[in-house]
Amino acid sequence: MNAGVAQYRAQQAGDATAIVTRHAELVRRIAHHLAARLPSSVELEDLIQAGMIGLIEAARNFQPDQGATFETYASIRIRGAMIDAIRAGDWVPRSVHRRYREVVAATRAIEQRTGRAATAQEIAAALGMSVDEYHQILQDAARGQLLSLDEFADEHDGEPRLEEADTATPARRFEQSAFREALSEAIDKLPEREKLVLSLYYEQELNLREIGAILEVSESRVCQIHGQAMLRLRARLTDWRGELDED
């Protein structure tokens, strides 16, 4: 091997190692944020391990001329690696997915008929179940990673990879832009309490316990509010996703 090539590769490896060391705290911060919404069976250390792999890939592939900072780029890679690890261990039975789709369909039907936000009582009644059973479905769905706004957007757009931004066709870029505009509009029309919870959770990156302290409600109540908000978004954007046609 040419000595100059060997020296260049060694320098690259050293730079990558330094970047990983410098941003290890970013991995831990993202892992803690994700862990706050996951069941206790998911180990924090497993998330951190997956995130470190994502960070290493980011260090190897980052291109500063793409217009994003390394931390922004790495955050996407880290979160994506953690979500991939969670998906690989998906334990959610098909019945949970099926029941959740039934709730989405009922919510959509009620809101189209009444022109306003459906209540938990209305949705439960339409499905012939108690309100407690309805909330249990939301809880099961949350544990199965069905209620994450990040996941919701990724299911439509695919994992956002900055290095591929220039390869998207004009039609694809238009579709992505239109979807995100529709998502933003749907969020803006949520009840104020649900909109506030989403803002605190996704924009301010507070965990459920911290949001509960602000709203002076229990952590489980915040989880219910978050779940209800995600349910409405899925019901209102079903046309984009074809969710009700799934098996």
| 44-63 average pLDDT score | 88
Best CATH choice for the domain 94-245 from the list 1.20.1410, 1.10.357, 3.40.50, 1.20.140: 1.20.140
Residue 193 near residue 225 (C-beta atoms within 8 A): yes
Assess whether pLDDT exceeds 60 at residue 5.
Answer: no
Residue 33 near residue 205 (C-beta atoms within 8 A): yes
| 171-175 average pLDDT score | 66
Taking every pair of Cα atoms in the chain, the longest distance, rounded to a whole number of angstroms, is 74
Assess whether pLDDT exceeds 80 at residue 171.
Answer: no
Separation of alpha carbons 145 and 41, rounded Å: 13
Express as a percent the part of the chain with pLDDT over 70: 72
Assess whether pLDDT exceeds 80 at residue 185.
Answer: yes
User: Which CATH code is given to the segment(s) 3-88?
Assistant: 1.10.1740.10
Confidence of residue 89 (pLDDT cuts 50, 70, 90): low
pLDDT score at 175? 66
Assess whether pLDDT exceeds 60 at residue 14.
Answer: no
Assess whether pLDDT exceeds 90 at residue 35.
Answer: no
- Stated pTM of the model: 0.59
> What is the chain's mean pLDDT, rounded?
77
Q: Residues spanned by CATH 1.10.1740.10 within the chain?
A: 3-88
Task: Give the Å distances, CA to CA, from 3 to 7, 10, 11, 239.
Answer: 6, 10, 12, 58
Assess whether pLDDT exceeds 50 at residue 168.
Answer: yes
Summarize pLDDT for 111-157 with one digit per residue, the tens: 999 999 999 999 999 999 999 999 888 877 776 554 555 555 554 44
Q: Residues spanned by CATH 1.20.140 within the chain?
A: 94-245
In the block, residue with structure tokens 């831990």: 28
pLDDT score at 129? 95
Confidence of residue 217 (pLDDT cuts 50, 70, 90): very high
pLDDT score at 226? 87
